């Protein structure tokens, strides 16, 4: 099996679907000749031509509107928003239009659009590049939100996202792009959307995480193991819709849970999970479900981001509170 970085796995998934379906179109700022600012679309324009893989003028709202229009013509657009911090410019196309396409036409139209976009802290970007804004998406009924944490998951999830007949926001954590390689089959495969993955099994505590925080959680689990605690780590992979079955089954087994997110505490993916657990499994709980999050400031100027971002130590500290409650 090939060893790939996450960015290579993403390119591979795009290539797979460009080959499989002539309706797939890849477009955005600098995705053509330049292969994307992170090289996610490297070589794709050369391989599939300017008709299928093309640069757009610089306008995020334009890219979003183009995706809406192309889907009305039966295409399966896979646009890139260069950095997810720019999403505010395209919010109407996403939340106002794409998310409502099936609903407001009673199913006469649908929007099989997958918007890919890099986000995430730890790589010292300027302002408005690294923010975790997934809550803006998950709080919008009508769209699915996928955040992979490994190269293997990235390829399988992206192929599923592109084949999905509803709009999917596919968020790629910049720190995970090249930080490690993993085994990725060269042939095509899919990972179902809405299905979490138990990245580590345990029986004393469930940590629910996604994106880069999966890795911090796994590190924390190893630390806790040394002190005799058996920790289960669930990687959500899809943050909307949630895999509630996997979460509840795990909580019913461990009786203790916590949620880790890179986003601010008030940007409540974690809050929603806590609510779901209390509504469905309160009698299984032996401790409150705690959260590890970033503080409620704007994503920091880069000099402070290392401290601002939650890390495995923060997770261990909170885990001990849950374990000893």
Options 1, 2, 58, 282; binder of another protein; rule CB under 8 A: 58
Tokens of 129: 């590049």
Q: Which stretch binds another protein (CB under 8 A): 100-108, 148-156, 245-253, 291-299?
A: 291-299
> C-beta of 122: minimal distance to another protein in Å?
13
124 belongs to the binding site for another protein (CB under 8 A): yes
Q: Which stretch binds another protein (CB under 8 A): 135-143, 195-203, 273-281, 290-298?
A: 290-298
- C-alpha angle with apex 236: 235 to 242, nearest 5 degrees? 160
Distance CA 134, CA 118 (A): 11
Classify strands 76-80 and 144-146 as parallel, antiparallel or unpaired. Answer: unpaired
Options 19, 22, 49, 59; binder of another protein; rule CB under 8 A: 59
Is the distance from CB of 124 to CB of 131 less than 8 angstroms?
Answer: no
> C-beta of 106: minimal distance to another protein in Å?
30
| Count of residues near another protein by CB under 8 A | 38
30 belongs to the binding site for another protein (CB under 8 A): yes
**How long a stretch of residues is the chain?**
325
> C-beta of 269: minimal distance to another protein in Å?
16
Judged by beta carbon, residue 121 or residue 194, the one nearer another protein is 121
Could you give the angle at which helices 213-226 and 312-324 cross, rounded to 10 degrees? 50
Distance CA 262, CA 137 (A): 15
57 belongs to the binding site for another protein (CB under 8 A): yes
> Which of 293, 295, 290 lies closest to 319 in space, CA to CA?
290
Element (H, E) at 266: none
Distance CA 317, CA 208 (A): 15
Judged by beta carbon, residue 182 or residue 310, the one nearer another protein is 310
288 belongs to the binding site for another protein (CB under 8 A): no
Which residues neighbour 322 within 8 Å (Cβ) at sequence distance 6 or greater?
205, 256, 257, 258, 287, 288, 289, 290
Q: Which stretch binds another protein (CB under 8 A): 108-116, 190-198, 245-253, 303-311?
A: 303-311
Phi, psi of 248, rounded to the nearest 5 degrees:
-65, -40
156 belongs to the binding site for another protein (CB under 8 A): no
Q: Which stretch binds another protein (CB under 8 A): 2-10, 169-177, 210-218, 305-313?
A: 305-313
151 belongs to the binding site for another protein (CB under 8 A): no
Judged by beta carbon, residue 35 or residue 148, the one nearer another protein is 35
Distance CA 80, CA 187 (A): 24
Options 22, 47, 127, 186; binder of another protein; rule CB under 8 A: 127
51 belongs to the binding site for another protein (CB under 8 A): no
- C-alpha angle with apex 151: 203 to 210, nearest 5 degrees? 45
Catalytic residues: 129
Q: Which residues are at the interface with another protein (CB under 8 A)?
A: 29-30, 32-35, 37, 55, 57-59, 61-62, 85-86, 88-89, 124-129, 265-266, 295-298, 300-305, 307-308, 314
């Amino acid at each position: 099996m090939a060893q790939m970085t996450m960015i290579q796995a993403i390119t591979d998934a795009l290539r797979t679907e460009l080959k499989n379906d002539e309706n797939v179109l890849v477009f955005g700022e600098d995705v053509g000749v330049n292969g994307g600012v992170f090289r996610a679309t490297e070589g794709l324009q050369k391989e599939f031509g300017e008709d299928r893989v093309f640069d757009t003028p610089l306008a995020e709202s334009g890219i979003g509107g183009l995706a809406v229009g192309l889907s009305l013509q039966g295409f399966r657009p896979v646009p890139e928003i260069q950095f997810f911090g720019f999403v505010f410019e395209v919010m109407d196309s996403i939340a106002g239009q794409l998310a409502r396409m099936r609903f407001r036409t009673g199913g006469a139209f649908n929007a099989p659009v997958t918007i890919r976009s890099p986000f995430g802290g730890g790589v010292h970007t300027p302002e408005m590049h690294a923010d975790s804004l997934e809550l803006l998406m998950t709080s919008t009924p009508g769209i699915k939100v996928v955040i992979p944490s490994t190269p293997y998951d990235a390829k399988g999830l992206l192929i599923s996202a592109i084949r999905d007949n509803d709009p999917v926001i596919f968020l790629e954590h910049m720190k995970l792009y090249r930080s490690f390689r993993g085994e990725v089959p060269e042939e095509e495969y899919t990972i179902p959307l809405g299905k979490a993955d138990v990245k580590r099994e345990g029986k004393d505590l469930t940590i629910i995480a996604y994106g880069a925080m999966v890795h911090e959680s796994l590190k924390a689990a190893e630390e806790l193991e040394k002190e005799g605690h058996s920790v289960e780590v669930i990687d959500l992979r899809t943050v909307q819709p949630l895999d509630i079955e996997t979460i509840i089954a795990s909580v019913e087994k461990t009786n203790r849970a916590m949620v880790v997110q890179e986003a601010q505490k008030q940007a409540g993916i974690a809050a929603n999970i806590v609510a779901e657990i209390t509504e469905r499994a309160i009698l299984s709980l032996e401790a409150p479900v705690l959260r590890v999050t970033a503080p409620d400031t704007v994503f920091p100027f880069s000099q402070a981001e290392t401290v601002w971002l939650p890390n495995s130590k923060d997770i261990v500290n909170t885990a001990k509170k849950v374990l000893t409650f």
